[in-house]
Structure 1
Amino acid sequence: MTQSAMASALGVSPSYLNHLERNQRPVSAGVLVRLAATFDVDLNSFAAPSAERTGPEHLGEIFADSLFADLNIPRYELVEIASNAPSVADAIARLYEALNDTRRPGIEGNGDARTMVTPEAWVRDYIQAQRNHFPELEDCAETVGGAMHDGLSLAEPLRRRLKDAFGITATIVPSSQLGEASQVFDTERKRLSLSSLLRSENRTFGLAYQLALIEFGPILKRMVDDAAPPDQGSRNLLLVSLANYAAGAIIMPYGRFLASTEEYRYSIDKLCGEYGANVEQVAHRLTTMNRPNARGVPFFMLRVDPAGNISKRYAGENFPFSRYGGTCPRWNLHAAFQTAGQVVTQIIETPDGQRYFTVSRTIDRPIPTGLSGGLLAIGLGCDIRHAHRLSCADGLNLADPPVTPVGPACSICPRVQCPFRATAPAGRALTVSADRKTISPYPFFAG
């Protein structure tokens, strides 16, 4: 369609449409409505870039690298790239991840830049690109899981389905027979062995995982083929991740689970009791509730160990922390290890003024380690505008709450007077003086 024809269809002048296309005029609400009506386009497609795209904050993190220290790229240029050329921004992010991977000892490429991105990074970005929601798996899991829920433990119905439908025998065996594995499937003997050390909810999840692999095998294979992972390691990891997703959806079928979340006002303990799941399984499931016209609270979630290493990172909407680094030490996620087993709530504010209600607590590993560092911590959060829907926010003054300022990675955090700062801010002139010490070890000019 020519520009003139499109302008005529919308009832605007060709010059105005030209300005819109060149990003030189804002799109009014009236034009948006006419666009949607004339071309049968969902208005949501005109919304701001979704969480999976590389935003200006992510580009800022990339260009804070010492490699670019002399460029002093202003934020408005990063905003222009993220807004006007989102695919270019994604490409920059992919290149940066590849660069970081080549910095790791022993990593070598084979000429294909995609192979320099680690499997976990590729799979994480792919899942987030789908907004951590897979409708086809949800529909299949809701059919299978909904038929098996009888109000009691789901483990027995799962075991029976594996046996009756696929001839697979599930048994619990001493951990010594499995070595370092928590479960092993013998394809020739059709036998699933689960470690005796697994907690009961993890045994149930293991059964659901194996059922998903078998029951949804063709679907999972097609989904992996369509995703086109760059190497076999990424392919295998994506298959496992999708099967884990399906297992959670079998245990917590979408429609029923969404109704439960609203009834219990997102009480994780009550949801755990309702579905025989553990805290991590429920928290992960909460990040996947993105079905059109039936969405839950859009949560983000992290899982960390006592050293601060992030082993899970999911987001149903925006994610307020560093994409390439860790989290801010001022977030109480890290303090959860000092109050093991207790729920820690906190309202945090990022440098852009956005506020999030967060819940943190420690969790046990699937198999007890007997080590003092065996605990992990889960951090779950959402935009504060959703906090009134959560039971754990009851009694808090959400209109004028106490707020903890947090930031992204220290290297790109703009907060000046922060005693927790671990590294100097990239591209900022330090104001260190021998005659004056500050609460921050790296004072700098705010401008």
Structure 2
Amino acid sequence: MTVQKLYAGVTLRETRTRLGLTQKAFAERLGVSLPYLNQMENNHRPISAAVVLRLAQEFGFDVTELTTGDAERIVSDMREALADPVFGAAVPPLADLRLAASNAPALARAFLNLHRAYRQTHERLASLDEALGRDGASLRPSPWEEVRDFFHYCDNYIDAVDLAAERLSQAWGPGGDPVAVVTDQLAARGIAVATGDEAAIRIYDPQTRRLTVSARVAEPTRRFQLLHQMALLTQNDLLEATLDLARFQTPEARGIAKIGLANYFAGAALMPYRAFLAAAQQERHDLERLADRFGASIEQVAHRLSTMQRPGLKGIPFFFVRVDQAGTITKRHSATRLQFARFGGGCPLWNVHRAFEMPGRFLRQLAETPDGVRYLSLARDVSKPGGSFTAPVRRYAIALGCEIAHAPQLVYADGLDLARGFQPIGISCRICERRDCHQRSVPPLERHLRVDPDRRGLLPYVIAE
């Protein structure tokens, strides 16, 4: 097996800058020569095991930060963008993409922003009525996509917000009821909390200082919505400071992000980091037991597990995704090497799409992506009734998974043969390199095709080597 060399010059340079050390002083602390450090910081040499060890010993550095983070995500996003036919057949090799992601991440993100703007302009022009109906349309990412990328590249972990939520949770303690505490704290601010039969899940009237939460929703949702409003009312300065650092391009993106940060605070308060991490390890990441323990929903627990990336106290790196019945990804995050399709549909062989067929059941899948990485994937439907016969049911499915090395720490791996039986899956057909997939919908954009009218196999064409 080929061992991939570790190039992390940008992270190494940022670490030195954060510590306020010169290259000479940093090299001495690491026990290497100045030229050697310079070569590592510029990705002319890989980071050796000895240097990784010294980083941990001298500075308490979480060495997993050298191999995770933006680089893998940027490479995956660039590969998918470059599969667009607009670039033709001149696709840069993978080594060049990794070099760009490591050495020039800002330039790589600028390229991705440019390609996103191109696609949105192309789609806008394809719909003439939309193009004519918009005055002053600009080449900007959609607010939703901009916010989703913000959380994606923050590793879905916002440290200051997480810590503030953890401090609030101390008011009710382990196993305590946050509803009573939050209600009392809001009452002390002159805000009355009530339940109502409105269609809206949560309504806050700043004039009457009255917060109404729908009685139709499940109890975990009520707790979550109370904590969400608590964040908006008591943590506004923190949320606004975080938004200032993000520098969103539009007021709409900033507004959506503020809702996302309040949601983050609510989940982190309902499931405080240290207590939740300890419980997850104790319960072997059993979603149902964790949901009962913290008064949360299955989806809330799965989402929270994907945020456990606090430096120095990291949990298992999970991927988390939520899809609707059309296969559209409505939530996505990955702390693993698995990345999700940004354009087009996902892989139909992934078990998350089968969850709608078997509601109320956990589906397990051993999966292998084209790069040879193996995963344990867990899927379940999380349909949400509207609370009355006439109300529509919102139907979603979620998937939570990790690389197979972490699988023994999950109760869902029990009884599975973790050495075999892996199903090949991809990201999307457009960039999947598998030649013999029976579910392929479109040919891969990076490969040539051979078409023989006198021969028909699984596909009406043959993908060339």
Q: What is the TM-score of this pair, normalised by structure 1?
A: 0.88
CA, structure 1 residues 33+277, in 2 after alignment: closer, same or farther (shift >3 Å)? Answer: closer
Instruction: Tell me if 1:380 matches 2:400.
Output: yes
Question: Match for 1:238: what amino acid?
Answer: A
Q: Give the whole-Å Cα distance in 2 for the aligned partners of 1:50 and 1:143.
A: 27
Given that 1:52 and 1:125 are in contact with CA atoms closer than 8 Å, whether structure 2 keeps it comes out as no
Q: Give the whole-Å Cα distance in 2 for the aligned partners of 1:109 and 1:188.
A: 35
Instruction: Tell me if 1:396 matches 2:443.
Output: no
Shift of 1:35: 7.5
Shift of 1:377: 0.2
CA, structure 1 residues 411+381, in 2 after alignment: closer, same or farther (shift >3 Å)? Answer: same
The residue number in structure 1 matching 2:127 is: none
Q: How is 1:187-198 mapped onto 2 (pairs within 5 angstroms)?
A: 187-198=206-217
More off after superposition, 132-141 vs 3-12: 3-12
Q: How is 1:40-55 mapped onto 2 (pairs within 5 angstroms)?
A: 42=61, 44=63, 47-48=66-67, 50-51=69-70, 54-55=73-74
CA, structure 1 residues 234+366, in 2 after alignment: closer, same or farther (shift >3 Å)? Answer: farther
For the residue of structure 2 that corresponds to 1:436, the secondary structure is coil
Shift of 1:42: 3.7
CA, structure 1 residues 37+375, in 2 after alignment: closer, same or farther (shift >3 Å)? Answer: closer
The residue number in structure 1 matching 2:281 is: 262
Shift of 1:172: 1.6
Shift of 1:208: 0.9
Question: Match for 1:130: what amino acid?
Answer: C
Instruction: Tell me if 1:145 matches 2:164.
Output: no
Question: Match for 2:401: what amino acid?
Answer: G
The residue number in structure 2 matching 1:240 is: 259
The residue number in structure 1 matching 2:3 is: none
Q: Give the whole-Å Cα distance in 2 for the aligned partners of 1:47 and 1:150.
A: 34
CA, structure 1 residues 128+34, in 2 after alignment: closer, same or farther (shift >3 Å)? Answer: same
Q: Give the whole-Å Cα distance in 2 for the aligned partners of 1:52 and 1:160.
A: 45
Instruction: Tell me if 1:332 matches 2:351.
Output: yes
Q: How is 1:300-339 mapped onto 2 (pairs within 5 angstroms)?
A: 300-339=319-358
Question: Match for 1:145: what amino acid?
Answer: S
Instruction: Tell me if 1:130 matches 2:154.
Output: yes
Q: Give the whole-Å Cα distance in 2 for the aligned partners of 1:427 and 1:129.
A: 26
Alpha carbon RMSD of aligned pairs, Å? 2.9
Given that 2:287 and 2:301 are in contact with CA atoms closer than 8 Å, whether structure 1 keeps it comes out as yes
Shift of 1:20: 4.8
Instruction: Tell me if 1:174 matches 2:200.
Output: no
More off after superposition, 2-11 vs 83-92: 2-11
Instruction: Tell me if 1:207 matches 2:226.
Output: yes
Shift of 1:152: 5.3
The residue number in structure 2 matching 1:81 is: 100
Q: How is 1:84-163 mapped onto 2 (pairs within 5 angstroms)?
A: 84-105=103-124, 106=130, 113=139, 116-149=140-173, 151=175, 153-163=177-187
Question: Match for 1:303: what amino acid?
Answer: R
Q: Give the whole-Å Cα distance in 2 for the aligned partners of 1:278 and 1:2.
A: 49
Shift of 1:205: 0.9
Shift of 1:338: 0.6
Shift of 1:444: 1.0
Number of residue pairs matched by the alignment:
436
Shift of 1:57: 2.7
The residue number in structure 2 matching 1:29 is: 49
The residue number in structure 1 matching 2:435 is: 416
Q: Give the whole-Å Cα distance in 1 for the aligned partners of 2:71 and 2:296.
A: 28
CA, structure 1 residues 169+328, in 2 after alignment: closer, same or farther (shift >3 Å)? Answer: same
CA, structure 1 residues 350+45, in 2 after alignment: closer, same or farther (shift >3 Å)? Answer: closer
Q: Give the whole-Å Cα distance in 1 for the aligned partners of 2:370 and 2:405.
A: 17
Residues 181-236 of structure 1: per-residue CA shift (max 9 Å, x gap): 32111001111122232222111111111111112111111111222211100110
CA, structure 1 residues 125+52, in 2 after alignment: closer, same or farther (shift >3 Å)? Answer: farther
Q: How is 1:351-362 mapped onto 2 (pairs within 5 angstroms)?
A: 351-362=370-381
Q: Give the whole-Å Cα distance in 2 for the aligned partners of 1:412 and 1:274.
A: 41
Given that 1:348 and 1:403 are in contact with CA atoms closer than 8 Å, whether structure 2 keeps it comes out as yes
For the residue of structure 2 that corresponds to 1:220, the secondary structure is helix
Q: Give the whole-Å Cα distance in 2 for the aligned partners of 1:41 and 1:258.
A: 20
Q: Give the whole-Å Cα distance in 1 for the aligned partners of 2:364 and 2:316.
A: 17
Q: Give the whole-Å Cα distance in 2 for the aligned partners of 1:84 and 1:225.
A: 26
Given that 1:7 and 1:17 are in contact with CA atoms closer than 8 Å, whether structure 2 keeps it comes out as yes
For the residue of structure 2 that corresponds to 1:314, the secondary structure is strand
Shift of 1:51: 4.2
For the residue of structure 2 that corresponds to 1:198, the secondary structure is coil
Given that 1:32 and 1:43 are in contact with CA atoms closer than 8 Å, whether structure 2 keeps it comes out as no
Q: Give the whole-Å Cα distance in 2 for the aligned partners of 1:327 and 1:421.
A: 11
Given that 2:306 and 2:334 are in contact with CA atoms closer than 8 Å, whether structure 1 keeps it comes out as yes
Given that 1:272 and 1:279 are in contact with CA atoms closer than 8 Å, whether structure 2 keeps it comes out as yes
Q: Give the whole-Å Cα distance in 2 for the aligned partners of 1:2 and 1:215.
A: 41
* Runs of at least 5 residues in structure 1 that lack an aligned partner in the other structure: none
Given that 1:321 and 1:407 are in contact with CA atoms closer than 8 Å, whether structure 2 keeps it comes out as no
Q: Give the whole-Å Cα distance in 1 for the aligned partners of 2:194 and 2:333.
A: 32
Q: Give the whole-Å Cα distance in 2 for the aligned partners of 1:368 and 1:92.
A: 46
CA, structure 1 residues 397+37, in 2 after alignment: closer, same or farther (shift >3 Å)? Answer: closer
More off after superposition, 181-190 vs 289-298: 289-298
Given that 1:348 and 1:358 are in contact with CA atoms closer than 8 Å, whether structure 2 keeps it comes out as yes
Q: Give the whole-Å Cα distance in 2 for the aligned partners of 1:58 and 1:240.
A: 26
* Runs of at least 5 residues in structure 2 that lack an aligned partner in the other structure: 1-20, 125-129
The residue number in structure 1 matching 2:16 is: none
CA, structure 1 residues 137+109, in 2 after alignment: closer, same or farther (shift >3 Å)? Answer: farther
Given that 2:365 and 2:376 are in contact with CA atoms closer than 8 Å, whether structure 1 keeps it comes out as yes
Residues 122-159 of structure 1: per-residue CA shift (max 9 Å, x gap): 11111122211122122221121121246354323322
